[in-house]
Chains A and B, each alone.
Chain A
């Protein structure tokens, strides 16, 4: 039986994977026209990154 090697991602890589996959899925499910989909995907990806990094920075003073 083939054993899948463990995947090691940094926090940012895991966060980026989540943001990209969810943005694309939401874009395709929520919009019909290709142009609207692209706009939605880019906008939601930007907001994911902005909020994620923003929250990360906001927690920095409490990280130690």
Chain B
């Protein structure tokens, strides 16, 4: 059954604002997924129902953080002495909420006088960078880019 159209004829100018709004909404949504993925590893993918990727990212970051902190790796803080400490802090913050988990595990502080502590520091930084990469992937996937 044909109904009379409520909309005016589309001359190309009427559809522009909704399309722009939808684009902005999609971008905001993708950004939110990226932030969620950073805060809780795997959450950015889980919100998009990419369960396998979400689980793998969560377990990968969790295992690296757990191993790194258990090996008494250096969990950097804001009070760094040099640029390397600052870079380490940025990398560690990449783990999002797991940064607090690492701090909670490492109650007695870091011990980088042994090789284990040094390896632990690298594993913690790897966890952070991996999570940032995964968050970026979740963002790109939400924007509709092939992933």
List residues of A whose CB falls within 8 A of some B CB.
1, 3-9, 11, 14, 17-18, 21-22, 24-25, 28-29, 32
Do the beta carbons of B130 and A25 come within 8 Å of each other?
yes
Q: Which residues of B contact A8 (CB under 8 A)?
A: 71, 116
Minimum CB–CB distance for B67 against chain A, Å: 6
Do the beta carbons of A21 and B63 come within 8 Å of each other?
yes
Task: Please tell me which one of the listed residues A5, A18, A21, A32 contacts residue B70 in the complex, with CB atoms under 8 A apart.
Answer: A5
Do the beta carbons of A6 and B116 come within 8 Å of each other?
yes
CA distance A22 to B123 in the complex (A): 11
Q: Which residues of A contact B108 (CB under 8 A)?
A: 3
List residues of B whose CB falls within 8 A of some A CB.
52-53, 56-57, 60, 63-64, 67, 69-72, 105, 107-108, 115-116, 119-120, 122-123, 126, 130, 133-134, 137, 147
Q: Which residues of B contact A5 (CB under 8 A)?
A: 70
Do the beta carbons of B56 and A25 come within 8 Å of each other?
yes
Do the beta carbons of B107 and A3 come within 8 Å of each other?
yes
Do the beta carbons of B71 and A21 come within 8 Å of each other?
no
Minimum CB–CB distance for B63 against chain A, Å: 6
Q: A11-B119, A21-B60 are in contact. Are A6 and B53 (CB under 8 A)?
A: no
Do the beta carbons of A14 and B123 come within 8 Å of each other?
yes
Minimum CB–CB distance for A4 against chain B, Å: 5
Do the beta carbons of A4 and B105 come within 8 Å of each other?
yes
Q: Which residues of B contact A3 (CB under 8 A)?
A: 107-108
Q: Which residues of B contact A32 (CB under 8 A)?
A: 147
Do the beta carbons of B126 and A7 come within 8 Å of each other?
no
Q: Which residue of A lies closest to B69 (CB)?
A: A4
- 9 new A-B contacts at CB < 8 Å, known A14-B123, A21-B63: A7-B70, A9-B71, A9-B116, A17-B123, A18-B126, A22-B130, A25-B60, A28-B53, A32-B147
